[in-house]
Structure formats: structure tokens, C-alpha cells
Amino acid sequence: MQTEAEAFLQRIRAYPDDDAQRLIFADWLDEEGDPRGQFIRVQLALAHLAEHDRAGDNLRIEERQLLAVHRDEWEAQFRGLVTGAVFRRGFVDEGKVAARQFVRHADEIFAVSPVRHVHLLDVGESLPAVAQCPFLSRLSALTVYAQHAGEPLARALARSQYVANLKVLHLGRNRLADDAAELLATSPHLAALEELDLSENEIGGTGARALSSSPHLSRLARLELRENRLGPAGAESLAGSERLVALRRLGLSDNEVGAPRLFSLSRAHDLLRVPVLDLAMNGLTAAGLQAVFARPPGADPTAVRLEELHLGANMLDDAGARVLAQCPHLATLTALTLTNCGIGDEGARALANSPHLNRVALLDLSNNPLGDIGFRVLHNSTHWRGLRQLLYSPMSVSQHMRDVLNRKYNRPVRRV
């Protein structure tokens, strides 16, 4: 039985993205009376559903039940090798591994399961050996978080021929500065990347310009740079990049984008080119919003692609709400986050009367000094025809108004 099962597993390891190989194995397991076959089918079905799709509720219950009974058995071969195992599509797909363990036992890890995402721990002196480990080529995602490895980490990965299959690379909190960003941006081995997370580092404008001009990151769809030092010029260069042609999400929270230099930029409006833009915690004011949204006369209207805008923890006040309400470039917006922005009832009135925000499906006004008056005008607005979900702080409104809002806005919205 073990030999026959191994033949199926060899094909799954050889074609890890092919669901057909997993379904064939599930059929064989069913014949053997092994509940793992049903588990594979359940997870494959869930993999093709959106995270909050109600159609998958029963499948998720069955998934949890099967794991509750069989997880220890199905994880047994990973003991001493991998922690925090995550099952996807019927197999352990993700886990945490000490760098030294990965180098020594990668062959055993991949013999057990088609692992696709590894979180490397305790990198330290093992970094060069990890970067030259051929088993890296089996991964589609790699996370090295909070190892404080600095420039050597970026250099090792940028020079490794074995990272060419990576689609996702997370390097948060590693003391990476501009030189590290330049190494990553100029590496031909990272050309398959679709998601790059460089959060909580020390990257400034120079590093941002290196990323924006990279000839190798044309497939990048998600770029997360929260808690760095990009400044407004760095933000502008990334959003306006002609090289990052696939970019759909740009995370720029807590990057000093609202600094006075913002007002001297000639192309701050390029930020509107990114479909999902996070500008939370950037010290933006109403004047800063005006600088971003003031597109020059004759500018190509099709260049505005903004769908989700996150502005939480910027002191916009009612004046900032008025700027948003009066901006014709937000007509494509479907989600707007204004958490903790100092917006009161007058700001809510301005938003409610805006003719440009009628496609917004999700509006987050949590932690603002809004009361019944502000929410009533939003509720009665004839403009917000697309609004399906309204998030707010319950303590700021009466029970009657909570009931009114919850009846009207209680439908989940899929986020990008």
C-alpha cells in the first residue's frame, strides 16, 4: 500500500499545481477507505471559492471536522521538521522551518508533502547555505520575517538561481534599506514575483525609485511597503512607474507621504493610477488630499484606476471629507476606508451629497466623531446607491440608528 501511494505522491510533487493529480489520489484513497480522500476533495473545492463565499460554509465545517480528528495523524511525518503546518488542497502547503533544518532536511520535507510556502526562522549564519539550496526552487512563496538580516539577506536572495519560481516574497522587519531594495530590484532571478512585501524596514526614496524602475518586476501585482521612509517622492515614483505594469495594490501606510514635500510634486496625482491604494497613517490633511487629487487639465481620464482607497488615521476632518466628496476622479471607487480621520456630522453630510461616490460598496467610518445626524444623512442619500456595507463605532449612535443601519448595510463585500 505504501509503495502504491508513493507513486501517486511522486506525480503530485512533480506537478504541484495540477488538481487532477490530487483528485486521482483522492479516488484511490476513497477505495482504500481512507478519509484523507474526502479531505482532499473538500479543500480542492474550497480553493476555487472566494474566502467569504457562503456557498462554502458546509465545506468549511466539514474541513474543520476532518482536521479535528485526523490532523495529528496527517502531520506526524513533519514532527521535528516543520511547525505551524497549514493544509491547502489536501496537503501541508505551508510551514515554519529553522534555516539550518531546511538546509539539512529539505529532501525529507518535500518527500512528505508538496510544500509551496516556507517561513524561514533563525536565519543567521545559515543564510548563504539556504540561498544555494536547490530545494528553494520547489517553493512558490517564501517568508523571512523579523530576522533583522539586513542587506546580506537581500543580496543572498537576489543572487540565488533557485528563487526563480517564487511568486510571493515577504521580507518584513529585516532592517532592509535602499541598498537592499536596489539588489532585489535588479535581480533577474525574481522576475516571476507577483507579490513583494517589504514592510517595517528602512527603505527610502532611493529604494522606491529602484523598485519603480526595475526591468524585472513587470509581473508584480501587490507591493507592500508600510512603515518605511519613502516620503511623497518615493510614493509618486512607485505609483507612476511605467515598469510596474501589473501593479494592483500598493501599500504605503506610515511612510511620511503627507510631508510638506508633497505639495512640490508635479505628478502626485499618479497615485490615482493604482487600483488599491493604502495611504493610512501618513499625516495627510485636506490640503494633502487636494494635492493628490488635483489632476492637471487635459490629463488622460482613463489613467485613473482607483478602486479601493484606505486613508485611516489621517486627520482629514470635515474639510478632508469635502475634498473627497468633490473629487470627480473617485467615480471608480468601490471601497473607502476613513477610520479615525476626525470626520464629524458635517463631513458625513458632504460625503452623502457627493455625486461621485455612487459606486462605493464598502464605507468604513469607524472611530470618527459621528452621531445620528451624520449617519441619517448617509442613510437617506440618493447618491450612495451601491453602498452595501457601512462600518461604524456603535457607541457613537443610538440603538435606533444602529438598527436602521444594520438592516440596510449588512451584506458582505468582497475585497481585492
Beta pairing class for 91-98 and 83-88: antiparallel
Q: 188: which DSSP letter?
A: G
Cβ atoms of residues 242 and 206 within 8 Å = no
Residues paired with residue 87 on neighbouring β-strands, in sequence order: 92
**In the chain, what are the domains?**
123-256 (3.80.10.10), 258-416 (3.80.10.10)
Query: What is the per-residue pLDDT for 257?
Result: 96
Reported confidence tier of residue 46, pLDDT bands at 50, 70, 90: very high
- In tens, the pLDDT along 364-385 reads 999 999 999 999 999 999 999 8
- In tens, the pLDDT along 85-141 reads 999 999 999 999 999 999 999 999 999 899 999 999 999 899 999 999 999 999 999
pTM given for the model: 0.93
Q: Could you tell me the three cell numbers for 56?
A: 462554502
Reported confidence tier of residue 55, pLDDT bands at 50, 70, 90: confident
Query: What is the per-residue pLDDT for 412?
Result: 54
Give the C-alpha separation, 16 to 210, whole Å. 33
Which of 51-60, 99-108, 250-259, 379-388 is least confident?
51-60
Average pLDDT over residues 201-212: 98
Question: Does residue 299 carry a pLDDT above 90?
Answer: no
- In tens, the pLDDT along 227-251 reads 999 999 999 999 999 999 999 999 9
Q: What sign does the dihedral 186-189-193-197 (CA atoms) show?
A: negative
Q: Could you tell me the three cell numbers for 84?
A: 505551524
Give the C-alpha separation, 99 to 107, whole Å. 14
The residue behind cell 490633511 is 285
Give the C-alpha separation, 140 to 298, whole Å. 43
The H helix count followed by the E strand count for the chain is: 15, 13
